[in-house]
């Protein structure tokens, strides 16, 4: 445990974070549908009320890609007035992501398209991190509002994110309890739990299937 704590502390330092920084964390592709521009705009409001707030954005334009496309340029343009309060980290392989989630305090996924699932939410919750996400697509089937995190319509982020941030930091017990609930919720989506769910469905379907009456092969006179 001490070694892990040291590794996390070292990674935070490499990224440019101070020990007392409060980190809002994003992981995923840098594409408009993921709503990263909404997150940065909302973080402008958060940083006005909390000088210790930091935003760490991990990801590239695609798997293994760090291409500087027009959207990434737009994101960096939006973040420029915030200076070192926003840190961009290039693509990180999946195997290393469990460690990166630990440098964040709260994870944000501001998707504006209809996410089918949004695996990042589940990964963050498995790391015991409260999640602030949106009401789009299947996200609300994973994140439980006001339990494992918060669900905000994309248009409400600039208005609501500062209030949620203040709530979570003014009462550490709420943040800790949400992290605990997030982990419990994530366990419901383990491979074992998923397999058991499918097994129950199949067994239930087989149990309800009508039994066919066996007919004799030959008629006897």
Q: What is the pLDDT of residues 92-105, one digit of tens each?
A: 999 999 999 999 99
What does the DSSP assignment read for 154-167? GGGHHHHHHHHHHH
Cβ neighbourhood burial of 142 (10 Å; 0-12, 13-18, 19+): buried
Task: Give the pLDDT score at 104.
Answer: 96
Q: What is the pLDDT of residues 15-53, one digit of tens each?
A: 999 999 999 999 999 999 999 999 999 999 999 999 999
So what's the pLDDT on residue 6?
A: 86
The confidence score (pLDDT) of residue 207 equals 77
SS3 breakdown of the chain: % helix, strand, coil, rounded to 5? 55, 15, 35
- 4 vs 112, more confident: 112
pLDDT surpassing 70 at residue 150: yes
**What's the DSSP call for residue 206?**
H
In the chain, domain spans: 2-207
Read off the pLDDT of residues 130-143 as tens digits, 9 standing for 90 and up.
Answer: 999 999 888 999 99
The CATH homologous superfamily to which domain 2-207 belongs is Glycogen Phosphorylase B; (3.40.50.2000)
Beta bridge partners of 54: 23
């Amino acid at each position: 445990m001490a070694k892990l704590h040291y590794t996390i502390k070292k990674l935070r330092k490499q990224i440019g974070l101070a020990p007392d920084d409060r980190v809002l964390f994003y992981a995923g592709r840098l594409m408009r549908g993921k709503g990263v521009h909404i997150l940065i705009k909302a973080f402008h409001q958060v940083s006005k009320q909390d000088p210790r707030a930091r935003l760490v954005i991990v990801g590239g334009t695609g798997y293994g890609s760090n291409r500087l496309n027009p959207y990434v340029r737009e994101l960096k343009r939006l973040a420029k007035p915030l200076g070192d309060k926003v840190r961009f980290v290039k693509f990180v392989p999946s195997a290393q992501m469990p460690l990166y989630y630990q440098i964040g305090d709260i994870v944000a996924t501001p998707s504006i398209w209809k996410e089918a699932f949004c695996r990042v939410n589940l990964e963050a919750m498995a790391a015991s991190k409260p999640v602030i996400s949106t009401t789009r697509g299947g996200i609300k089937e994973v994140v439980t509002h006001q339990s494992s995190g918060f669900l905000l319509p994309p248009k409400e982020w600039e208005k609501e994110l500062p209030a949620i941030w203040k709530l979570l930091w003014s009462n550490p017990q709420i943040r800790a309890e949400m992290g605990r609930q997030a982990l419990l919720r994530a366990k419901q989506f383990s491979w074992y739990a998923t397999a058991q769910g499918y097994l129950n469905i199949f067994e239930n379907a087989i149990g309800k299937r009508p039994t066919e009456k066996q007919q004799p092969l030959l008629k006897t006179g």
